[in-house]
Amino acid sequence: MTPTPAPSNRAVASLRRRLLSWILLPLAALIGVNAWVGYGNAVQAANEAYDRSLYLAARTLAEELAWRDGRVQLDVMKAAGYLFENHTGSRLFYKVTTPGGQWLAGVAALPDAPVRAQSAVKYFALVQFDDGVYLNQPVRLAQLTHVMEDAGLADPLIKITVAETMEARQQLIQHILWDTLGSQGLLLLAAAGLVIWGVQRGIRPLEAFRQQLASKADDDFSPIQPPDLPRELRPLIETLNSYLDRLGRLIDIRKRFLDNAAHQLRTPLTALKTQLALAQRNTEPEQAQTLLTAARQTTEDAVRLTEQLLAMTRVEHAREMHSPQTVDLVALARRVTQEHLVRAHQLGDDLGLEAQVVQCEVQGVDLLLHEALSNLIDNAIHHGPVGTHITVRVGHGWFEVEDDGPGIAPEHQAHVFERFYRAAPSGVTGSGLGLAIVKEIASQHGAVVSVRSPLRHGRGTAIRMRWPAV
Amino acid sequence: MTPRILLVEDTPDIALWLGTALRQGGMQVEFATDGHAADRCLQPGHGFDAVLLDLQLPGQDGLSVLQALRGRGDAVPVLVLTARASVPDRVLGLNMGADDYLPKPFDLSELEARLQVLLRRHGRAKTTALRWGPLEMQPENGTAQLHGQVLALTQREAAALRVLLSSPQRTVSKEQLHTEVFVGDDTGLDAVEVLIYRLRKKLESSAASQGRVPEVVITTFRGMGYMLTSPVGTP
């Protein structure tokens, strides 16, 4: 097996990235919204505070206005503390006009604040605020309507407009902005750090698990036990461990099968080499003939064994390869019996067919059922003495092969379907695979195999493959 | 006339020994060791009586050689030899115009028997007679000889013997014999048994009259039917 750590690496990295992006991106957005709202509120509060002080400045101015010498005059000295020595360094300008706009005092060039239905500061009914431009500078305007009763004016109402340059406000707003950005940025950084740290810690068992898996030897199928495994990952590890367990057992079976197969194949080949070497050495034609006959028999055994090993492999992989079709067991039995007839006859055995039904259809793979029945007949021919009577019998939903050979002792019967299990005495060659193949095919077809032995007079075996559902 | 056989086989060992065996059996054998060579050998006018074709070949595989051959309308009998065993291959081989197939490893005697059947079926054997060991029959007139001695057979006995001889190594069921021998007759299946009984007697007495042990017998196989066998090994 080739180790493929790359994909798992990527998987871990992408999980981390995904967690981080899922947590950090919304968090950053939330902090951003929070900062924006907080900044807006702070700016509004600052504006209100400045507007209020501008209003107070206008009020103070109004109170220090006096009607003297037929015109409006301001006691500048009194107002100066309020007006022009302002706490900020912004500059203040004023003008006083009649409601009609006629100049009375101050800087005539100051723009008017338009009268709007909604004032910026709602509770000052008599004051209007606005932004304007004076001397090419943005200014904040407050316009107060004041009653000047002792004046010799037709209308006692006058308008007092105060303008303030924006430096102080902008400084404050900037200050608030930097403050907000700084604190929220720090918060974001701290949150990111915590999240990264948490995710890293959370993923660490996964990484440890990956390393453990990657460092496993090819033939090591022991379960993996990562330390401090999160509860969410435990089912995954358990599934993987149970898979490893199954895989290990399967490979173990394969390995034993291969070991056995190698041993089984070497045996006849060794015998063959010996027989042929002896035949070469023996110049007596008769002895040579005997050895060649033996060599031919050994070859037959090797062929039979090879066929069975191949059949076993084929049967094991058959599940994926074949789709079931309708198979007539009677026709199948006739065909398979026919194939063994000549050989059985030459060996002096009596092979016959006994169909108890005209037809019996099952769902199955013809090739495999053929293999199974063929193995049963072959087994009977192989293990019975010369002159064995073998009957292939087909009934409703079953077929069986019965012989009057030596039979299978009860203690062997439970094991005859195991691979490489050999019930026969050591003189009889055999692979111990024939019945294992039958069993495998039966289980793939949902059929059951059963043995009856001895049948009569302490001899005989019948092995039946039966479809319970039919 | 010696039958000319083309043996297409890439394994030198198999080619050599198979060729030797076939030559000893009185055939003229030529070799091709890959698909392209086989294809060249099988161009029109090749004059072969049969082809033994391995499927796994270097160059061009056996099936495409066969396909090309049949594509030229050439009906030379082809016996496919293959180490593949799965059914689709077999079906394909036969559908694509192979006359017969033998999975490896095969018995030499079986190969020889199948080859003889193919040669006879295509009228290329030394004689068109049906033969089983010492038993011989001229299908055109129905005369049969055992060890050269003519058997006195009725028409139905001859018909039954011909059916048995045409099916070497395979059983013929009672029903099949009945259909082929008692054409349009409404006799029961028991008539087949009587017929076989008489045929057996005639074979036995012919052998006995020549002072020989029976070398050809009609054997009954339970549930399967009748088949010509020889009690002293294959002929």
**Mean of the per-residue pLDDT values of chain B:** 85
pLDDT band (50, 70, 90) for residue A329: very high
B175 by DSSP, 3-state: which?
Answer: helix
Q: For residue B171, list chain A residues with Cβ-Cβ distance below 8 A.
A: 338, 341
**Closest CA in chain B for residue A365:** B87
> How confident is the model over B183-193, as pLDDT tens digits?
777 788 889 99
CB contact under 8 A, A355 and B223: yes
> Average pLDDT of A434-457?
89
Alpha-carbon gap, residue A281 to A291, rounded angstroms: 11
Helix H or strand E encompassing A406: none
**Closest CA in chain A for residue B170:** A338
What is the per-residue burial (b if ≥16 Cβ within 10 Å, else e) of A393-406? bbbebbbbbbbbbb
Model pTM? 0.58
What is the sign of the dihedral through the CA atoms of A227, A228, A233 and A234? positive
A434, pLDDT greater than 90? no
A351, pLDDT greater than 90? yes
> How confident is the model over A15-57, as pLDDT tens digits?
778 878 888 889 889 988 988 998 888 888 888 888 888 888 8
Q: Which residues make beta-bridge pairs with B217?
A: B229
> Across the A/B interface, how many CB contacts are shorter than 8 Å?
41
How high is the pLDDT of residue A172?
Answer: 84
All residues at 6 or more sequence positions from B133 whose CB lies less than 8 Å from its CB, including other chains = B215, B216, B230, B235
Q: For residue A314, list chain B residues with Cβ-Cβ distance below 8 A.
A: 85-86
**Closest CA in chain B for residue A346:** B233
All residues at 6 or more sequence positions from A301 whose CB lies less than 8 Å from its CB, including other chains = A268, A429
Lowest mean per-residue pLDDT among A6-15, A448-457, B215-224: A6-15
All residues at 6 or more sequence positions from A111 whose CB lies less than 8 Å from its CB, including other chains = A132, A133, A134, A141, A163
CB contact under 8 A, A352 and B221: yes
CA distance A318 to chain B (A): 11
Helix H or strand E encompassing B44: none
Alpha-carbon gap, residue A326 to A324, rounded angstroms: 7
Alpha-carbon gap, residue A349 to A267, rounded angstroms: 27
Chosen for mutation from B224, B228, B230 (greatest number of chain A CBs closer than 10 Å) is B224
Q: Are B135 and B144 in contact (CB under 8 A)?
A: yes
How high is the pLDDT of residue B126?
Answer: 46
CA distance A365 to chain B (A): 11
> Average pLDDT of A428-434?
71
How high is the pLDDT of residue B233?
Answer: 46
A402, pLDDT greater than 90? yes
Most confident segment among A42-51, A133-142, A321-330, B33-42: B33-42
Question: β-pairing, A157-165 with A92-97?
Answer: antiparallel
How high is the pLDDT of residue A79?
Answer: 62
CA distance A353 to chain B (A): 4
Alpha-carbon gap, residue A36 to B144, rounded angstroms: 116
Tell which wins on pLDDT, B173 or B235.
B173
Q: For residue B170, list chain A residues with Cβ-Cβ distance below 8 A.
A: 338
**Closest CA in chain B for residue A389:** B222
User: Which amino acid makes up residue A160?
Assistant: I
A76, pLDDT greater than 80? no
How high is the pLDDT of residue A357?
Answer: 94
Chosen for mutation from A320, A339, A345, A365 (greatest number of chain B CBs closer than 10 Å) is A345
User: If contacts are CB pairs under 8 Å, which of residues 41-70 in chain B contact chain A?
Assistant: none
CB contact under 8 A, A391 and B224: no
> Average pLDDT of A348-354?
93
**Closest CA in chain A for residue B234:** A346
Q: Chain A within 8 Å of B205 (Cβ-Cβ)?
A: no
pLDDT band (50, 70, 90) for residue A352: very high
**Closest CA in chain A for residue B104:** A303
CB contact under 8 A, A341 and B85: no
Q: For residue B85, list chain A residues with Cβ-Cβ distance below 8 A.
A: 310, 314
Q: For residue B87, list chain A residues with Cβ-Cβ distance below 8 A.
A: 366-367
CA distance A410 to chain B (A): 30
Q: Are B93 and B56 in contact (CB under 8 A)?
A: no
> Average pLDDT of B39-60?
89
Give the start-end residues of each E strand in A264-410. 325-328, 350-355, 361-364, 389-395, 398-403
ipTM over 0.90? The verdict is no
Alpha-carbon gap, residue A144 to A128, rounded angstroms: 7
CB contact under 8 A, B87 and A366: yes
> Average pLDDT of B14-40?
90
Alpha-carbon gap, residue A207 to A160, rounded angstroms: 75
**Closest CA in chain A for residue B90:** A367
**Closest CA in chain B for residue A335:** B224
**Closest CA in chain B for residue A304:** B105
Chain A residues with CB under 8 Å of a chain B CB are 303, 310, 314, 334, 337-338, 341-342, 345-346, 350-355, 366-367, 391-392
A145, pLDDT greater than 70? yes
Q: What is the dihedral of CA A291, A297, A300, A306, to 10 degrees?
A: -80
Tell which wins on pLDDT, A400 or A371.
A400
**Mean of the per-residue pLDDT values of chain A:** 81
CA distance A420 to chain B (A): 23
CB contact under 8 A, A338 and B85: no
A81, pLDDT greater than 70? no
> How confident is the model over A83-115, as pLDDT tens digits?
555 556 677 888 888 777 778 777 777 887 665
Tell which wins on pLDDT, A454 or A316.
A454
Lowest mean per-residue pLDDT among A136-145, A152-161, A179-188, B174-183: A152-161
pLDDT band (50, 70, 90) for residue A349: very high
A203, pLDDT greater than 90? no
A447, pLDDT greater than 80? yes
How high is the pLDDT of residue A465?
Answer: 96
B234, pLDDT greater than 60? no
Lowest mean per-residue pLDDT among A79-83, A388-392, A430-434: A79-83
Lowest mean per-residue pLDDT among A155-159, A198-202, A447-451, B55-59: A155-159
CB contact under 8 A, A353 and B234: no
Locus of tokens 């404050």: A172
B135 by DSSP, 3-state: which?
Answer: strand
CA distance A354 to chain B (A): 6
* Measured CA angle at A73 (ends A68, A78), to 5 deg: 115
> Average pLDDT of B72-94?
73
A456 by DSSP, 3-state: which?
Answer: strand
Q: Are A444 and A318 in contact (CB under 8 A)?
A: yes
Name the H helices within chain B: 12-24, 35-41, 62-71, 87-95, 108-121, 155-165, 174-181, 190-209
> How confident is the model over A270-295, as pLDDT tens digits?
888 888 888 888 778 888 888 888 88
User: Which DSSP state fits A111?
Assistant: P
How high is the pLDDT of residue A10?
Answer: 54
Alpha-carbon gap, residue B34 to A359, rounded angstroms: 46
How high is the pLDDT of residue A91?
Answer: 78
How high is the pLDDT of residue A401?
Answer: 96
Q: Chain A within 8 Å of B222 (Cβ-Cβ)?
A: yes
CA distance A250 to chain B (A): 25
> Average pLDDT of A432-452?
89
Locus of tokens 């010799």: A152
How high is the pLDDT of residue A209?
Answer: 80
Read off the tokens for A410.
Answer: 């009860």
